[in-house]
Each structure stands twice: as structure tokens, then as C-alpha cells.
Copies of this chain bind each other. A is one copy, B any other.
Amino acid sequence: MSRFTVTYRLRAASRAEAQARAEGIALEQTVEIPRNVVPAGYVADEILGRVEEIGSLGEDLWQASVSYSPDSAGDEFTQFLNVVFGNSSIQQGIRVTGIDLGPEMAARLPGPRFGIAGIRALCGRATGGMIAPVLKPMGLTPAELARLAEGCVRGGADIVKEDHGLAGQPSAPFRARVEAVCAAMRKVRAQTGQRTLYFPNLSGRADEIERNLRFLRDAGADGVLVMPGLFGFGLVHRIATDAGLNLPVMTHPSFLGPFVLAPDNGIDHGVLFGTIQRLAGADISVFPNVGGRFGFSAEECRAIARACRDPSGPGRAMLPSPGGGMSVARAADMQAMYGQDVVYLLGGSLLRDPGRIDEAVAEMRRALPTGA
């Protein structure tokens, strides 16, 4: 059976130490027992991770490729991540820099259900950058949030996204909020002909998530915002692989920061906010934009966008969605950096005058070339 391969960047003083660390990863991520007690036969020959290659990256840095059996990952996305980086995530000086599925895992992890073309078809924006104003702040009522959503539709938004912090506040319970926004958007879409999509923030206790998913779909939401750092990437995969639900997924980076912030640990920006989101089946991946309140560099943001849109896969290309750092003044620069296949989140800058959010959205819409 064709194996999948994970590339790690290792800190090690010599090639021999890098080799030993890689052998340690191959054990840790699969059998988790010393090599001399690994049962011969199927476990040693198939299940055990296999060091495929060690290369120097200069100084004390090495690149190690370790291959794994699809049998170790099975068909659960959480278990796939568990094999990619479960326990090794706890060791210093190991960073995931690449994942290559191979044919067998590629068949099991088909990726985004909608992808770039699917999202464009749904919101009726064939070319050009898309804009997604955010409904916030927490503490507003469903009626207040619905009024903001109305303004966003009138202004020509492509997607109305809920703030990832809208969850469980007594001021706006999930069902009341989703129903109010759906009703308001339905009305204004009919009046204006806009096809603006609505992505509510999925939340709830663990045993309410399935009900809440069905509720938001039945209420008329067009997609769903999911925080895989808090709910697990398995939830993204579960939604993306459900043909009956048929809902696009936008992922939010909340609680995922520590995976990228230290260069020697965790997961590379492009792999975490691009490759892994795409493997899980997200259609749109939100990440902190260069120039906003977070410290991502232009190159880190470009790496994310590349991983989201790489035409060679895995699966369908998905939309990078830089959050923060976008304004009318920066629209041309952003367009130069990200090109057309991108969803810009628009946040607090729209709320200077909540009653005129439609004008703020429209101004942003005009600032972005339509790319036709």
C-alpha cells in the first residue's frame, strides 16, 4: 500500500544525531515502543514509520522525511494528524514542513468540497478578490447583528462571516442569532439581487454540535465558520465529507497560534493554514494578515496563500482569507500580493458608524479591481 510522507525540520548537531532523531519520530508516531520490542512481521514491516531521507539545511538544521502506512492513520482525520505530529509535537526542535499524501491517503482525504470555483459559483463573483465583513462585536443582540448583515448585503459583500467570538453569549443565543441573520439577509438578497453568503460561527457543547450544524443548514445559512484549534480538525473533515449537509467550511485560526510562533517547533505556516486545512476539507482558510495586529511576515502570508491555492493539490484549490490589515488605502497593495483568488476579512474598520456599514462595504468593494 502506498505510504504517506511527512517532512520534519530537525535541530541536531550532526547527521548521525539527525538520523537518530528521525528514527525516534518514526517510532514515537506509530508503535511508541523501543525498536527492539517492535513485533516482527506486519507491525515492523508496515505499521512502523520509516525514515526515507535525511538532508542538511545548514548549521544544525536537518530535513527528515518519514513515511507512514495508511493503516496507521485509518480513515479518521484526527488519527491522521495524530500520526503526523501527535507526540512529536511535544519534543523540542521538531517542525512539520511538508505532507505528501501518496495515492492511498489522497483517495481517503479528498479535500475541499467546494474549493475556489465552488465558492465563486455560490456567491456569484466569477473573478476578482472577494470581501467578507465580520458581524461583531459580541454583546450585540440578534436584531443588531441582523441589521449589520443587511448593510453588508446592500454594500455588496460576498460573504457575511460571524466573528469567531460569537458563541454562547446570553445576548445572542446561537439559534436566535442564526435565524435573525438568515431572515434579514434573505429579505435584502431578494430586494437587491445580491447573492451574499452567510457563514455563522459553529459553536455549542460537544454533544450539541451535530444538532447545531443541522439547525444552521436548515435555517438557511450558506456555510459555516469552524475553529479547528478549539473543536478539532476532525469536525472540519466531518462537515466537508457530508454530501447531505453540502456546506462550505471557512476555518478560523483561534487557539492555533502556538503551532507556528516558534520556528523550531510546531508546524510551518503554509502547512498549518494551507495544507492541513485543505486536507481537512476547508474551502476558505482565515489567517492573520501581514500589517495587521499579528506579526506574520509577508513571506509567511505568501506561503499560506501558495499552499491554499497550489493547483497540484492536495484536492481542490481553496481560498486564503487574510484577516486584518485591509483597507481602501491598501487594496491595491493587497491585490498585488494575493492576486484574485482571495477572501479579505473586513473587521472593526467597518464599524465606525454601524448604521452606514453598507457604504463602508461598498467603498471597499469599489477599491478592489473586479479582475474581469
Residues of A within 8 A of B (CB): 24, 28-34, 37-39, 42-43, 46-47, 71-79, 81-83, 85-92, 136-140, 163-165, 167-171, 203-207, 209-210, 227, 229-235, 237-238, 242, 253-262, 265-267, 288, 293-295, 347-349, 351-352, 354
Contacts and interface: CB of A to CB of B under 8 A. Distances in A.
A276 to B, nearest CB: 11
B137 A47 contact: yes
B137 A254 contact: no
A86 B165 contact: yes
A164 B82 contact: yes
Contacts of A164: 82, 86-87
Nearest to A238: B206
A72 B168 CA distance: 8
30 contacts: A31-B137, A32-B163, A33-B137, A34-B348, A34-B349, A39-B139, A71-B170, A73-B168, A74-B167, A74-B168, A76-B203, A76-B204, A78-B227, A79-B165, A81-B255, A82-B164, A82-B227, A82-B255, A83-B165, A86-B165, A86-B229, A86-B230, A89-B229, A89-B258, A90-B256, A205-B234, A206-B232, A231-B234, A232-B232, A232-B235
B74 A169 contact: yes
Nearest to A144: B39
Question: Which of A79, A206, A227, A347 is the most central at the interface, judged by chain B CB atoms within 10 Å of its CB?
Answer: A206
B139 A78 contact: no
